[in-house]
Amino acid sequence: MRFIGFDEVAALFRGKKVAIVGSGPGCLDNEPGVVDSHDVVVRVNNWKTGVAQGERCDVAYAFWGTSIKKSAGELMTAGVTLCMCKLPDSQPIESEWHRRTGKLAGIDYRYIYRNRAGWWPCDVFVPDDARFLAKFDLLGKHQPTTGFAAILDVLACEPRSCFLTGFDFFASKVHNVNEPWREKNTDDPIRHRPDLESAWVKANAHFFTFDMRLSELMEKE
């Protein structure tokens, strides 16, 4: 296991056909073999495999907090060769709301790397503050969702193509493929803004191909 820099990560994606599989139900509509036909398959957070969403996972992209339940053994069995992290090993932002409400895990991410010391089953990429804050600033000082962070990081690696599946920016109110999702902490000043993420993807749609549900969503907006 090694901690690697972004240049080494970029070399793994550059010029490749990449599929990024999010946690929405749209990944269930793919034809068998479509996802796994890509050169690199990236899966997000507590990903699930299957006939439509594919079986391969080359890169596991997550925020790696306590709600990420994948074991090191599961990643090894799945063939994961790189773990990519959304969050830096630091406290890159300040928020009075998080301090007042006792939700410091929302701004100080060092606990993740303390908890996973010695855990990683393969090479790991951890972003520095600047790379994380670029995403945060892009969304007007809002925390990117893990899926959107994965999209931005992969796109920065200059892939040949990028197929997005399992993304609906929570319009379906479903995550982890088939589990109910509800918005939390709506008073959090840096909360997720999937509406802004969706608008960004639509404005940059020329970089991507989409699954059926995401194509329909992009056409409606």
Q: Per the structure block, which two tokens stand in for 19?
A: 């599929």
The CATH number for 197's domain is 3.90.1480
Task: State how many domains the chain has.
Answer: 1
Quote the pTM value.
0.95
- Helix 194-203, helix 146-156: angle, nearest 10: 30
Q: Which residues constitute the domain of residue 124?
A: 3-220
Angstrom distances, CA of residue 207 to CA of 34, 106, 193, 210: 18, 31, 21, 10
Burial class (CB in 10 A: 0-12, 13-18, 19+), 42: buried
**pLDDT tens string 131-181:** 999 999 999 999 999 999 999 999 999 999 999 999 999 888 877 777 777
Answer with the residue of higher pLDDT: 140 or 221.
140
